[in-house]
Amino acid sequence: MKINKETRIGVAVVVILAMFVWGLNFLKGTSLISVRNQYYAVFGDVSGLQNSTRVTVNGMDMGLITDIHFMDQDINRVLVEVSIKRDFTVPSNSVLEIYNTDFMGGKGVRLIPGDSKVPAAPGDTLRSALEQDVLTALRASILPLAEDVSVLVGSLDSLLGDVRETLSPEMRKDLQGVVSEAHTLIAGERVRISQILSSLESFAGNLQENNQQISRIAGNLAVFSDSLATSDLKPAISGIHQTMEQLQILTRQINKGEGTLGRLAYDPSLYTTLDATLARLDSLLADLKNNPEDYVHLSLFGRKKKEK
């Protein structure tokens, strides 16, 4: 089948028109495939807002502005039409807010979802809100402060006037005398103040000269503290603690007269018996020294026992 020239030209024109419409919608941010719902909001001022401005929900791109025009020829009411993706449910008490994107006056639109369980129907008019720009917020916060400062300056001026009127010539003369005495005192102590400043300068110079030694001492102290921190002191301290506890137990037993040392310290009979035993042992050693033959017999052939 042969296609004539006119048909080919018509198909080409349709394709070009379709591509032009698609490209125009692409540049505007409108998709021909996605299905969207239209919603409206009324504002008093939309300065800086343009068609095809993105509409965001919590920072996510959910739609765009499709039209901006006056409502019923009223210049104080501007109707903004937004197109929102159909798969996103818009609660009926949601708010469409115009906010500032930068300090240069750029505007953006965001949809603040409400908490209503009833969804808004396509074509409904949502509540609107307008965020204050930076200059307006600063002006709102600075103007009350400027008024307070003006009132404060007026109060100070009035107070100074009252003080000026209150000071009598005698009081002014007394104040001048006080200032003169203070000046005389400072002039008299000028030499002493100079000496103190010289001493401080000398002390600072000594510190600067001995800076290396001070740094070395500080380094040694740091090394010593690190050595103490890394040394095995805990077992040694624990051993000393256990030894002190055992010594306390031994002292307590001696004080109560328990054990050998306790009985020896508090039982006179044990001491008497021990003293008598030592006396008999001393007598035995003396007899052994004086009469060794009575205890040790050294003889190869034997001998007759000595009769006592």
27: its two tokens = 């540049």
Distance of CA 296 to the CA centre of its chain: 94
Annotated domain spans of the chain: 1-33, 35-131, 137-166, 168-211
Identify the weakest region by mean pLDDT among 75-79, 135-139, 213-217, 286-290. 135-139
Mean pLDDT of 45-50: 82
**Who has greater pLDDT, 41 or 196?**
41
Over its C-alpha atoms, the chain yields an Rg (Å, rounded) of: 55
223-241 pLDDT, tens digit each:
777 776 666 667 777 778 8
* pLDDT-derived band at 32, boundaries 50, 70, 90: very low
- In this prediction, residue 3 has a pLDDT band, given cuts at 50, 70 and 90, of low
- In this prediction, residue 133 carries a pLDDT of 54
Q: Is 89 helix (H, G, I), strand (E, B) or coil?
A: coil
Class assignment of domain 35-131?
Answer: mainly beta
Does the predicted TM-score (pTM) go above 0.95?
A: no
Tell me whether residue 48 is exposed, middle or buried, using C-beta atoms within 10 angstroms of its C-beta: 0 to 12, 13 to 18, 19 or more.
middle
Q: How far apart are alpha carbons 73 and 78 in whole angstroms? A: 9
